[in-house]
Amino acid sequence: MLILDDVISAGTSVRESVELIRAAGATPAGVVIALDRMERGKGALSAVQEVKETFGIPVIAVATLEDLIGYLADSPELAANLDAVKAYREQYGIAAR
C-alpha cells in the first residue's frame, strides 16, 4: 500500500496510516508527499528523514521547499512571497540536501 499525503510535519498521520495498514494485514510500500517543507523533525533529521528511518519506507516528494523558492524567485508576479518563504525556512527548516 502506498500512503499519499500533502506534507509531513511531525509524521503523525503517516504513523497512524502505517498502523492501520499493518492492522489490516498489509505492508506499507512508501509515502508520496506533495511538498517536502524540509522542516526539522524532533532531532537532527528532517521530519521526512525521521519517517524514512522510523518506518524503513521511502518517502518521495513531488516538490521541495527549495523547488518552491526557485519557482518564486523566477516568477515576478509571485516574488513578493519569497522573503516570507525564506524566513520560514530559516526558522523551521534544515539545510538543503
- pTM higher than 0.85, yes or no? no
Q: Environment class of residue 31 by beta-carbon count within 10 Å: exposed (0-12), middle (13-18) or buried (19+)?
A: buried
Grid coordinates representing 41? 523533525
CA distance 47 to 25: 26
Structural domain boundaries of the chain? 2-92
H or E stretch including 18?
Answer: helix 12-23
* Cα-based distances in Å from 18 to 45, 67, 72, 83, 90: 20, 28, 34, 36, 31
pLDDT digits (tens, 9 = 90+) for 17-70: 999 999 999 999 999 999 999 988 888 888 899 999 999 999 999 999 999 999
Domain 2-92 CATH class label? alpha beta
